[in-house]
Amino acid sequence: MNTLFLDAAFSKQTERPPVWMMRQAGRFMPQYWEIKNKYSFLEMCKTPEIAADVTMLPVDLLGIDAAILFSDILVTGEAMGGDLSFTQGVGPKFANPVRTLADVEALEVDVLDRLQYVADAIKVIQQRLNGSIPLIGFAGAPFTVMSYLVEGGSSKDFKTTKLLMHNQPEVAHLLLSKIAKVTANYLNLQIAAGVNAIQIFDSWALALSWNDYQEFSHRYIQEIIAGLDRKDIPVISFCKGSSVFAPIMAEAKPDVISVDWNADLLNIKNSLPAGIAVQGNLDPHILYADKPVIKKHILQLFERMRGEKGFIFNLGHGIMPDIPFDNVKYAIEVVKEFKY
C-alpha cells in the first residue's frame, strides 16, 4: 500500500506531502456527469456498486494518495427521520425541518440498519482498491448536520439554528447529543467495514462565536472522537473556521486538523501540541487560475512546510463544480513531482 497519507497523518516523515482533495469525486469531472445523468444523487450514494464507481474516479483519473468514500454528510440526518432530497441547483433539502422539542424527540437514534448501505459500499470499494491506497470514511459534525436539519437546507446566516441555540439551548443540546450518538455509531460502522481513516466535516463552524463553538460544536466532536474504536485509524477534524478554532479542535485529540485557507499553515502547526498533523490549505480558487500560478502557490506552501513531519496537502475547502478538471490534474502532478 502507498502509505504516504497514513504516515503523514501519524506525523511520520514522508518523501513528499501526500495529496487528496475534498470533493475529489464530483461535478468538476466529466466522468461524474456520465453517472449522475443516469441516477439521482441519493441513488448513487445508496447503491454500493455505483458509490464505488464514483469513489474510484479520482483514484483512476487523478492518482491521488487517498480515496474518500462517496456519500454525503446528511445521510445521518436522513437515517434519523429527515426527509432528504438533493435537487440540481437547489442543493440539499429536508422537507420536515426540526424546530421544536417534539420534532427533536421524534428523531430516532437507533438507526444503524438504515446506514448499512454505507458499510456495503466500503466493502466493494476496498475490493476495488485492493490495498493500493487508504480509504477515508467520514461524517458530518453535529453542529453542521443540525444546521441542515433545522434550516431545512443550506443557509447563509444560520438564523433559525442560532435562534434555537440561543433561545432554547436545551432543545439544541438534545438534538446535538442525538446526532452525536448516531455519528459515533455510524463512524464505528465505517471502521468495522474497513475504512483506513476518518474525517469529521464541520463545514459551517465558521458561523459560530468562540463560546458557541465550544458549547454547541466542539463538545460533541470531542464526545464522538472519544467514542471511536480508533485502533490504528487516524482521525481528521475539518472545519471552516479552523484558523481560529484550531487550539480548541486540538483538545478533542484528533490526529490531524484540516485547516481552511485563511491561516498560515506553519503558524497553525506550530501552535498545536506535538503529534497533531495538519492538512490543507490551498485556497480552492487558485485552481481556477493559470497553471504557472497554480504551481507557484503550491510550491510556496511546500517551501513553508519544508522539513515538517505531519503535513497532508489538500485544499482549504472542497473543489468547486466549475473548476477545470485539467487544472486539478495539473495540481496533483505538481505535488507528486515535489521532493522534500
- Residues annotated within a binding site for substrate: 23-27, 72, 148, 203, 317
Q: Of the two residues 81 and 284, which places its CB atom closer to ligand CP3 in the complex?
A: 284
How far apart, in Å, are the Cα atoms of 12 and each of 22, 132, 236, 277?
22, 19, 15, 9
Least distance from ligand CP3 to the Cβ atom of residue 45, Å: 8
Cis geometry, peptide bond prior to residue 281 (ω within 30 degrees of 0): yes
Cα(283)–Cα(289) distance, integer angstroms = 11
Q: Which among 148, 67, 77, 154 has a CA at the least distance from the CA of 115?
A: 77
Least distance from ligand CP3 to the Cβ atom of residue 223, Å: 20
Least distance from ligand CP3 to the Cβ atom of residue 339, Å: 27
Least distance from ligand CP3 to the Cβ atom of residue 115, Å: 15
Residue nearest to ligand CP3 (CB): 203
Least distance from ligand CP3 to the Cβ atom of residue 24, Å: 5
> How far does Cα 30 stand from its chain's mean position?
22
DSSP 153: B
Least distance from ligand CP3 to the Cβ atom of residue 222, Å: 19
Q: Of the two residues 22 and 191, which places its CB atom closer to ligand CP3 in the complex?
A: 22
Whether the CB-CB separation of 236 and 9 falls below 8 Å is answered with yes
Feature table: binding site? 23-27, 72, 148, 203, 317
Cα(86)–Cα(75) distance, integer angstroms = 11
Paired residues of 282 in beta bridges: 315
Which residues form the interface with ligand CP3 (CB under 6 A)? 22-27, 36, 41, 68, 70, 72-74, 86, 88, 91-92, 138, 154, 201, 203, 318
Q: Of the two residues 26 and 241, which places its CB atom closer to ligand CP3 in the complex?
A: 26
Q: Of the two residues 183 and 203, which places its CB atom closer to ligand CP3 in the complex?
A: 203
Which residue is associated with the grid cell 438507526? 111
Q: Which among 91, 88, 90, 53 has a CA at the least distance from the CA of 74?
A: 91
Q: Of the two residues 11 and 190, which places its CB atom closer to ligand CP3 in the complex?
A: 190
Whether the CB-CB separation of 225 and 254 falls below 8 Å is answered with yes
Pairing status of strand 84-87 against strand 91-94: antiparallel
Residue type, 193: A
Q: Of the two residues 41 and 266, which places its CB atom closer to ligand CP3 in the complex?
A: 41
Cα(235)–Cα(225) distance, integer angstroms = 8
